[in-house]
Each structure stands twice: as structure tokens, then as C-alpha cells.
Structure 1
């Protein structure tokens, strides 16, 4: 299933946030959206999910305008994990994941054993089976984030949208979660802060700056030392791993910058 954005523009509070953003998400790929704070990543994710409508431009889901589809139909095909997703309800961890089945339920399709199996699998995927009976308000931020991912998996979407999914997670769970997402048979768009996570797991990355797409392509092509300096204001060395991948080595602000055009090579 394909998802594409065509010349999206969005403003809020009198400020222009997105300016003519266009991109296409290929079926089955993990596309990372990267950029500094305020670059428009979260706004773009909300437009791709259909939560907001662009002031100009359109989002297409398999060639159909997203705003023309019923919300239940969109929810069966797209799942969104928001950056600040929360619930004030007094529910258990399992009940929070069960909410992911809502788009598939109705008068003629009540809850069944199949739904129980899907929820069980989602909890197991994020290693939360043992905490299924815990009340939501007793869980840590990291545990809640893993349950948000489980709820999205229980939704059984074809497209998964993740807005900074590794928030509140320690490094082990950050990498484990991205690895989990990467091996799902899904089309995934993830807004990420960590450039090394993007380089490690994304098939392509879209680099945003000031509400525009600065560059899009494989991580090793987009994440150059010059772009990192220009967009993030950070001096870094881009280390090639010999297989077409890369990782970023940031330099201490007090150290001199590497020679212009210098690119580190893995030993």
C-alpha cells in the first residue's frame, strides 16, 4: 500500500509550518523523517495520518485522497503512534492494547477469540505480556510507549506512522523497538531524532528544515557531514561501514573541524 504527499502546506497560530512538502512512501519500506526541532516533522506526520487536513496540497492513500475516506476505513489501514499519546482512563495495560482492535469491531463483528490472539501477539512482540494486568497509571513512560506500539500492531494496519517512537526508552529498548518495527511486514514512516538510528534502520530518510524537504534518499547519501553541519549546526564525521551504510560520529565543540570534504572510512 502506498502513501504520498503532494505539495502540502500547513500553518498554525499565524505561523507557516510546512511549505509545499512532497514525498512518496514506497510499499514495504521504512522511511525516516529527520530534522531539528521545529522543522515540521510532527505536523507532517499528523497530515499523513489524516488527523489534520492540509491548507493546500493533498495526501493520497493508494491513489485515493485521504480526506475522502471514512475515519474507520483509514484506521484499518493506517496506525499512528503519537509523540505525546496518553490516556487518563483507569485501564490495564492489556485494555490499552485492546483499543487497537476498535476499527475492526462492530455490530456484526463483535469481540472474538481472534481478537484475543492478536492482542496477545502484540503484547508479546513488545515484551509486555508479564505486565498485561498492571494499571496504566502505575507504568513507567517507557512501558507506556511500548504499549502504544503494541496497540498500533494490534490494529493490524498496512501503514504504521511513528512520531519519535523511542521517547522514554533506554538504549536497549530503543534499538529493540526499531528492530521490531523494521522486521514487520508493514510500510513504516517514523519521525526520528537520532541520526544513527535513522542510518541503522531506515531504507530512506527525508531530511526536513524549516518546513521543507531538504533532501531524501538512502541514509548514506543524505547524511553527509556538510548537511549535518548546515541543518543541525553540529560538526560530525560520517563513517562508512563498507556495505553502503554509515554512522555518525559527533565531534566535541572544542575540537577543530575535520578538513573540508574529509569523510571517515571504517577500518
Structure 2
């Protein structure tokens, strides 16, 4: 199943958020989207997930405009994990994950033992099976985030979209979760903050700045010191290994010059 964006434009409150964004997601790849806050990552994710409709341009799923697909059909093909998806309903952890099966249920396809097995496996994969009976409002932010991932896995859609999926997670669960996603037989698009996570897990990386994609390619090609300085305002060293991978080492900023103190009477 292919997913692509062509000439997307989105604005809000008179401010342009995305401008002429085009992107082809290759089937089976792990594509990372990086960029500073306000660069348009979350808006792009919402558009390609079908949560919002672009004001100009098209999102194509399987070669057809997204709006030509029904909501159920889209949900069967795209699972989306948002940054902050909450509920006020008194549901358990397991019930939250069971929601991932909704696109596959109907009058002729009621809940079955197969659905139970899918939910069980998803809970186990994110290390939350032992919390299955806990109420949602009693869980930490990190535990809820892992359940969002489990719900998306239970959805069994071939395309998985993740908007900053490692929010609220400790470092062990961050790496474990990205490795879990990497091992799935899925097409993955993930907006990521950690550049080393992008380098470790992504096949390709799209760099966003000012609502546009300014670079797209393999981590070793895209994660260059000058580009990271231009986009993020940081000074880095990029270490490369013989297998085509890379690691980013940040340099501490130069100390700021001391501020001059005005003596009483000066400056008048």
C-alpha cells in the first residue's frame, strides 16, 4: 500500500504552517521526519493520516485521493498514534487497546477469539500485559503512550504513523519501542525529536524547516553537521561507521560573553 503527499499547503490563523510539501513513502520503509518545533511535523502527520484535509494539494493512499476512501477503509490501512490522545471514559488498559480492532468489526464480523489473541499479543509486545485491568486514569504518561502503540499494533494496518512516539518514555522504553516498530512488517512514518533515534532506526529521513522539506535521504546523507547547524542551531560532530550508520555528538555551546554592568550615572 503506497502513501504519498503532493504539494500540501496548510495554514492556521493567517500563518502558513506547510507550504508545497511533497513526499513519497516507500512500502516497507521506516521514514523519519525531523525538524525544530514549529517546523510543521505534526501538521504534516495529521494531513497524511486524514485527520485534516489539506487546503491545497493531495494525499494519495494506494494511488487514490485520501478523501475517496471511507473512514473505515482508511482506518484499516492507516494506524495513527498522536502526541496527545486522551479519554475521559473510565476504561481499562485492555479496553483502550481493544479499540484498535474497531475498524475490523461489523454486523457480519463480531468480536472473536482471534481479536482477543491480537490484543493479548499487542499488550505483551509493549510490556503492558500486567496492567491490562488497570483503569486508564491511574496510568502514567509513559504507560498510556505504550498503550497507544499497542492499540495501533492491534489495528493491524499496513501503514503506521507515529507523532513523537517516545514522549513520556524512559530511555529503555524509547529504544525498545522503536526497535519493536522497526521489526514489524509495516510501512512506518514517525516524527522524531531525537536525532540519534532517527539515525539508528530510520531508512530515510525528511528534514523540515519553516513548513517545507529541505532535505530527504538516508541518515548518513541527511545528518550532516552544517545542515544540523542551519536547521537546529546546534554544533555537532557526526561519527560514521563502516556499515553506513552514523551517530551525532553534540558540542556544548560557547560560553556567552559576560554582561556589562552599568555603573550608577552611566548611560545618561
Q: TM-score, normalised by structure 2?
A: 0.94
Secondary structure, aligned partner of 1:88 = coil
Corresponding position of 1:125: 125
Encode CA deviations 1:36-56: one digit per residue, 9 max, x unaligned. 000000000000001111011
Encode CA deviations 1:55-114: one digit per residue, 9 max, x unaligned. 111001110110111000000000000001111110000000000011111111111111
Corresponding position of 2:84: 84
Which aligned segments of 4 or more residues in structure 1 are displaced greater than 4 angstroms?
A: none
Structure 2: 5+ residue stretches without partners: 256-268
Corresponding position of 2:258: none
Distance 1:13 1:70 in 2: 29
Distance 2:32 2:107 in 1: 38
Distance 1:192 1:152 in 2: 17
**Pair 1:239 & 2:239 matched:** yes
Shift of 1:254: 2.3
Corresponding position of 1:140: 140
Corresponding position of 2:8: 8
Distance 2:42 2:88 in 1: 22
Secondary structure, aligned partner of 1:46 = helix
Corresponding position of 2:63: 63
**Pair 1:105 & 2:105 matched:** yes
Distance 1:87 1:238 in 2: 41
Secondary structure, aligned partner of 1:84 = coil
Shift of 1:120: 0.4
Distance 1:6 1:51 in 2: 17
Q: C-alpha root-mean-square deviation of aligned residues, in Å?
A: 1.0
Distance 1:135 1:53 in 2: 34
Distance 1:198 1:86 in 2: 26
Distance 1:62 1:99 in 2: 25
Corresponding position of 2:250: 250
Shift of 1:242: 1.6
Q: Which structure: larger Rg?
A: 2
Shift of 1:145: 0.2
Shift of 1:241: 1.5
**Aligned length, in residue pairs:** 256
Shift of 1:207: 0.2
Corresponding position of 1:49: 49
Distance 1:12 1:68 in 2: 24
Distance 1:20 1:68 in 2: 21
